Structure 1
Amino acid sequence: MTTSKTTKSTSATRNALLEAAARVMVAHGSKALTLEAVAREAGISKGGLLYHFPNKEALIAGMLQQLIDQKTASLKHELEQDDAPDTPGHWLRAYIRSYENHNTHSGAMQSALLAAVAENPELLKPWQEKFADWQRQIEASELDPAIATVIRLAINGLTFAYLFGLGVPQESLHKQVIETLLKLAQQ
């Protein structure tokens, strides 16, 4: 097998294990996340799982990193698609649209975040660092930093409303909220 095929196979197995872990937590809660349950769900031996993730914390860290990678890729895509890249608020508008286009209300995200906090709050450090970086980008967006930060916090609040079922707005209101935030990010 060539290195390229081995890398693709390893990546595919890692992704299958991360998806299996999310399915276990969505179906049974974070307490049910065991290496045995994930291996069984993925149809792989526990030894095969341990090759990729030597312990439960590494598995949860992998889930969280996968979410960061997906959000970052979505954000990059939105930055490239923006029709006004050299205008104030460009980065912030991409952040808003990436929220809409990245399935942030997924059960997998909720499970990974809850499991991370329950297992070891230190596992959230990559998320904390990424959000700090995004905050710096938002403050540098050439908009009033307070307004830009309010917009980010509104998006984060919307995310958590969906994650925890806290006053989730109806679809029409949700769309109006996003449109309002995009307008604010153009001023």
Structure 2
Amino acid sequence: MRRDELLDAAEGLLCDQGSDALTLAAVADRAGVSKGGLLYHFSTKEALIKAMAERLIGDFDELMAAQPYDTYTKRYLGATMAAIRSSRLRRWAVVTGASGNMFLLTPLREAMSRWHSEGVKDEPDPVAAQIVRLACEGLWDVASHDPSLHSEEELAALERRLLALL
């Protein structure tokens, strides 16, 4: 079994049953592998959670790289909107909610620091860039709690307005 399939099983378990249900045995069972097969890839529950967070960071970096915009903040906004419009947003909410241990979220804190500092000095208006990035975080947080709060039309209007700030 591939590593990503195990991570998918863990994320699915979190989505369906919550963080209390996340055990190595439950993940192995959901993935259809032995606990030893899971332990080959992830020796602890903490290693599994950390790997889920790292994969999400990589996914967001890929979303950013796929954006057609000319500045870092526009790519950040585009990636945020793409994540909100996809199932990726739910994955973030469940993975970050799974960890009561701040050490496990160190990769996320490091990525957040990078995402909010990279390219700011190269922006035409660094303050507007920071405002847009912070607005993205707010949109992300609200949408993770209520994905249906904003219609596609409302999201498009928000995206256009945030792009206009840049």
Please report the TM-score for the alignment, with normalisation by the length of structure 2. Answer: 0.91
The answer as to whether partners of 1:104 and 1:159 remain within 8 angstroms in 2 is: no
Say whether residues 1:113 and 2:96 are aligned partners: yes
- SS of 2:149's equivalent in the other structure is coil
Aligned residue in 1 for 2:108: 127
Q: Of residues 140, 143, 151 in structure 2, which corresponds to 1:162? A: 143
* 1:180 CA displacement: 0.7
- SS of 2:66's equivalent in the other structure is helix
Aligned residue in 1 for 2:14: 25
How many correspondences in the alignment? 164
- SS of 2:98's equivalent in the other structure is helix
Q: Of residues 31, 39, 58 in structure 1, which corresponds to 2:47? A: 58
- SS of 2:54's equivalent in the other structure is helix
C-alpha offsets along residues 23-69 of structure 1, whole Å, 9 cap, x if unaligned?
10100001100001100111111001001000100000010000001
Higher CA-based Rg: 1
Please report the TM-score for the alignment, with normalisation by the length of structure 1. Answer: 0.81
Say whether residues 1:13 and 2:17 are aligned partners: no
* 1:105 CA displacement: 5.4
Say whether residues 1:140 and 2:129 are aligned partners: no
Query: Which whole-Å CA distance do the structure 2 matches of 1:181 and 1:91 have between them?
Result: 14
Deviates more, 1:55-64 or 1:159-168: 159-168
Query: Which whole-Å CA distance do the structure 1 matches of 2:30 and 2:87 have between them?
Result: 23
C-alpha offsets along residues 147-187 of structure 1, whole Å, 9 cap, x if unaligned?
111100111111111112289323322210011111212xx
Query: Which whole-Å CA distance do the structure 1 matches of 2:43 and 2:35 have between them?
Result: 10
Pairwise CA RMSD:
1.8
Q: Which 4+ stretches in 1 moved above 6 angstroms?
A: none
Deviates more, 1:12-21 or 1:53-62: 12-21
The answer as to whether partners of 1:105 and 1:159 remain within 8 angstroms in 2 is: no
Say whether residues 1:34 and 2:34 are aligned partners: no
Query: Which whole-Å CA distance do the structure 1 matches of 2:147 and 2:79 have between them?
Result: 21
- SS of 1:140's equivalent in the other structure is helix
Letter paired with 1:55: T
Aligned residue in 2 for 1:174: 155
Aligned residue in 1 for 2:75: 94
Query: What stretches of structure 1 of length at least 5 have no aligned partner?
Result: 1-11
Query: Which whole-Å CA distance do the structure 1 matches of 2:59 and 2:148 have between them?
Result: 26
* 1:107 CA displacement: 2.3
Letter paired with 1:73: E
